Structure 1
Amino acid sequence: MITIQKATLQDVDTLIDFQQKLAFESEGVTLNGNVLRKGLHALFADPNKGFYFIAKENSEVIGCHMITFEWSDWRNGMVWWLQSVYVKESHRKKGVFKLMYDNIVNIVNADPGLIGLRLYVDKTNARAMKVYEAMGMDGSHYTVYEWMKA
């Protein structure tokens, strides 16, 4: 049986492993484990930054995703951003992401202060885009631009 729960500090090593795999698989990027560890510790120390959910089968963590926040003055509500989605390769195409996604949608639907869910995906990650579209998400409304310090 697969369960979804909030991640804790005890999950940091698994989250580091999953995020390093995600970055490499989806964008060919190698993440610095020390920087990632500091980033995760900062997230757990400050709930205003966001939080992680994990999917577990028995005692094994098989998937995760992070939630961060965006305030919408236009809609007077909070939008959750779904980020850092990863499912272990051995558990893909078994409905794990659907369980994680349904969990988020149920939480958003139950809270009148939450008004929606957004995510961004690398333009070359066609497999992920198909999954998100199958969940009913629409990628046609906005294009995300970014600038990052070097």
Structure 2
Amino acid sequence: MITVRAAKYKELDTIVNFQVKMARETEGLELDQKQLKKGVEAVFEDFNKGAYYVAEDSDRIVACLLTTPEWSEWRNGTVLWIQSVYVIEDYRGQGVFRTMYEHIKAMVEHDDDMKGIRLYVEKNNLSAQKVYKAIGMNGDHYQFFEWMKTF
């Protein structure tokens, strides 16, 4: 049975490993692991940056995601962004992300200061888009634009 909980600092290396795999699989990127580890540590050290969650199956971590807060003046509350989603290959297609999403959604529903959930997805990641639509999310309102310094 899959359970979802907040990640622990001692699981930092697992999260780093998952993020390396996710970047490689989804965008063909090789991340600088030293820089990535510092970034993951920063989240554990400052809850204002976000929070990691893991999915477990019999004490085995099989997935993780990061939530980051965005203040919405329109809603006078916080919208949680889901980022850095990774599910190990053996567990894909079994509802692991759905279970994690439902956990996050329940947190938002029970906190009056929380107003919703957002995520972004690589344009070519059609399998992820299909999953997000199946759990009731939509991409109807916004198109995501960005400018990022290169590595």
Q: TM-score, normalised by structure 2?
A: 0.97
Q: Which residue of structure 1 aligns with residue 71 of structure 2?
A: 71
Correspondence 1:34-113 to 2 at 5 A = 34-113=34-113
Distance 2:114 2:42 in 1: 24
Partner of 2:134: 134
Deviations 1:31-57 (A, max 9, x none): 111111000111111100001000011
Deviations 1:11-64 (A, max 9, x none): 111101110111111111111111110001111111000010000111110001
Shift of 1:5: 0.7
Identity, % of aligned positions: 48
The one-letter code sitting in structure 2 at the alignment partner of 1:54 is: V
1:33 is aligned to 33
* DSSP-derived class of the 2:31 partner: coil
> Alpha-carbon deviation of 1:3?
1.1
Give 1:5's aligned amino acid.
Answer: R
Report runs of 4+ in structure 1 exceeding 4 Å deviation.
none
Count of residue correspondences: 150
Question: Letter of the aligned partner of 2:118 in structure 1?
Answer: R
Q: For 1:4 and 1:115, how far apart are their aligned partners in 2?
A: 21
Cα distance in 1 for partners of 2:95, 2:149 equals 37
TM-score by length of 1: 0.98
